[in-house]
Structure 1
Amino acid sequence: MTVIRTARPDELPALLEHPGDAERNAATRAYLGMLLDTGCTRPEWCLVAEDGAGRLVGSVVLWTLPGQDVPYACVLFEAPADEPETGAALLEAAVAKARACGADELEHVVDSPAQAPQFQRDPERRGVLLRESGFRVVRDGRRFALRVPGTLPADDDRLTFRSLADLGPEPFVDLLAELLAETADARLGADVKRWGARQAAARLFEETAELRHEPAWWEIGYDADGSPAVISLPAENPSVAVIGFVGVAPAHRGKGYAASAVVRGTRILAANGAEEIRGDCDAANTAMAKAFTRAGYENFADRLEFSRPL
């Protein structure tokens, strides 16, 4: 009989080891160790499935941003391919623990192709397990990455940038509300339907602000006519520097400003020591995908984002 339980101290940070897969085992161990060290997870948030012979056959770990007490995602979800009931039990245990910690929603992402640190092989099977456990796809995304080169493109001389340190948050929320009203991003569009553009903008600003950043990094780019044209919110998560959010005001779309904003955020992160930068967008947001490509980024993976209300 398979039992779902909290991982013991001696099982951390390795959790479930795969014989003959040293690359996966080392990457997963390092990843969970980093999550524990940075406070993105806690030992009591690390769950395993143990079979009747005492072997670990599955795992799932709750995740949050450093300094937060409420988890809002799960990572390192693994279960035997021939035992869907074990996967379902792990997800239910993660949901119950997240709910007990005060969460009202739990997320999980599935990247393909499989890669470090989670090595999510067989994404179709994972998707079936998630859907049968009450999760739904909230975004079909594309992931981009850039190894920072020695020389970066110059800033767009059509734009004049002013920072959060100079402007304060209100102009940023104003511009976010304007551009979210006409967004191609499925997840953000759902937020607008749920809360309205203004509240969705405020929530997006606050959620992005949970990532590490400096006020001088966040900027609005103004067109030559003086109107706000782009917003750039570069930041760092516990693993890597990110283009946290980029958006173009509806009146200024079609001018190539999205790529200009990506370049601007890239230059700021590189100036502050980033060697690799990542970003993502909705698959339907072709303009944003082109902006990343034009700024030198590579589409290295696709990402399905799942969510379950609790």
Structure 2
Amino acid sequence: MIIRPTTEADLERVVAVTVDEPVGWIEAARYVDELGQGMYRPEWTWIAEEDDRVVARALWWGQASSTHPIALDCLHVDGSVADPSALATELLTAGLGAFASQGASRLPLYNLTLRPDWRSDPAVAGALAWRRTAALAAGLTDEVERLRLEWRPESGVPRSRGRLTFTEATDEEFLEVFRRIAQGSLDGETRRNLATLGPEATAREEMDFYLGCPGEREWWRLARTPEGEIAGLAVPSATPYNRNVGYLGVVPEFRGHGYVDDVLAEITRVQAESGAELITATTDTGNAPMAAAFARASYRTTEIRMIYSAPGS
């Protein structure tokens, strides 16, 4: 068995792989398109081959400007392999080790997409099981279950109660509000970052991430009460594929008053008025108040994403 990153000469064999299990995967057309944009790369694509046949494939993804990959989008082992979790562990360990040796300060996470009803479907649960075993064995031991949500125009823009005003602000002002919102957050990644990085670095990392997204900085707003006090922030954003909610939050002293609904309504309004036909969002299943706010705003859960990451990454 040979495990290695691919070269341009492997493209035909890489795109010939198909996944027949009920999990999200990357089809040939998307891979080729994003390979041309630099979001998939031969050196980020790893295979296991036996007798010149590809028996396992791992596709890591990054932004076109990324030096190192950000996420593993697709992990597949051929059905002929007796122990798929063992081979997948070898493949992940080799790829992650190479990225670390190349200077990646943060190992890419593994993003596995499932149907919302995955727990009641043995086929989906089985497809998750060996991938989960491999991810954990390869060191991606932090596990988070996340909702992927969608809003479409036919749902209607949620009504604002007019309790907040939304104003522009400097980067320094936004950074301070990112820091305040992180305190007491129910978001799993934010909580992990607070524990390992502290509040200042966590706020900087959150802000830098959204500054690097395809959305425009000029969309960002601080949310203020009628008295002018800062209640939270709204960061409408975008992915390479569509508009999304980005980041929203309420500072600790104003939580419990329903302001999250006002902030989410503002983000949705901004995106809808720009002509967005689809707005996506994510939140952890453990963040019940945020999930409830999305439901009230007519965002529908379309997928479940299981996120596996290395501690401290």
TM value normalised by structure 1:
0.87
Alignment-mate amino acid for residue 159 of structure 1: L
CA distance in 1, matches of 2:268, 2:14: 33
Residue in 2 that maps onto 1:90: 91
1:271 Cα offset (Å): 2.7
CA RMSD in angstroms, aligned pairs only: 2.7
Q: Secondary structure at the match of 1:149?
A: helix
- Inter-CA distance 259–284: structure 2 relative to 1 (3 Å threshold): same
**Structure 2 contact 112–307 (Cα < 8 Å) conserved:** yes
CA distance in 2, matches of 1:187, 1:111: 18
- Inter-CA distance 168–246: structure 2 relative to 1 (3 Å threshold): same
Aligned length: 300
**Structure 2 contact 5–43 (Cα < 8 Å) conserved:** no
1:174 Cα offset (Å): 1.0
Q: Say whether residues 1:59 and 2:60 are aligned partners.
A: no
1:204 Cα offset (Å): 0.7
**Structure 1 contact 259–291 (Cα < 8 Å) conserved:** yes
Residue in 1 that maps onto 2:70: 72
1:183 Cα offset (Å): 0.8
CA distance in 2, matches of 1:4, 1:13: 12
CA distance in 1, matches of 2:77, 2:10: 21
1:138 Cα offset (Å): 4.4
CA distance in 2, matches of 1:127, 1:255: 38
Runs of 4+ aligned residues of structure 1 deviating over 6 Å after TM superposition are: none
Q: Deviations over 1:198-255 (max 9, x none)?
A: 2211111111211112222111111112111121112111122221111111122122
- Inter-CA distance 224–114: structure 2 relative to 1 (3 Å threshold): closer
**Structure 1 contact 15–59 (Cα < 8 Å) conserved:** no
| Equivalences for residues 104-143 of structure 1 within 5 A | 104=105, 105-113=107-115, 122-143=127-148
**Structure 1 contact 222–229 (Cα < 8 Å) conserved:** yes
CA distance in 1, matches of 2:10, 2:101: 22
- Inter-CA distance 273–202: structure 2 relative to 1 (3 Å threshold): same
Q: Say whether residues 1:40 and 2:39 are aligned partners.
A: yes
CA distance in 2, matches of 1:79, 1:210: 33
Q: Identity percentage over the alignment? A: 23
Residue in 2 that maps onto 1:282: 284
- Inter-CA distance 214–121: structure 2 relative to 1 (3 Å threshold): farther
Alignment-mate amino acid for residue 277 of structure 1: I
Residue in 1 that maps onto 2:198: 196
Residue in 2 that maps onto 1:173: 175
**Which residue of 302, 305, 309 maps to 1:307?**
309
CA distance in 2, matches of 1:114, 1:227: 39
- Inter-CA distance 241–30: structure 2 relative to 1 (3 Å threshold): farther
1:47 Cα offset (Å): 1.8
CA distance in 2, matches of 1:18, 1:179: 40
Residue in 1 that maps onto 2:233: 231
CA distance in 2, matches of 1:187, 1:200: 10
TM value normalised by structure 2:
0.86
> Which segments of 5 or more consecutive residues in structure 2 lack a partner in the other structure?
118-123
1:100 Cα offset (Å): 3.8
> Which segments of 5 or more consecutive residues in structure 1 lack a partner in the other structure?
none
CA distance in 2, matches of 1:114, 1:15: 28
- Inter-CA distance 155–308: structure 2 relative to 1 (3 Å threshold): same
- Inter-CA distance 171–155: structure 2 relative to 1 (3 Å threshold): same
CA distance in 1, matches of 2:11, 2:71: 24
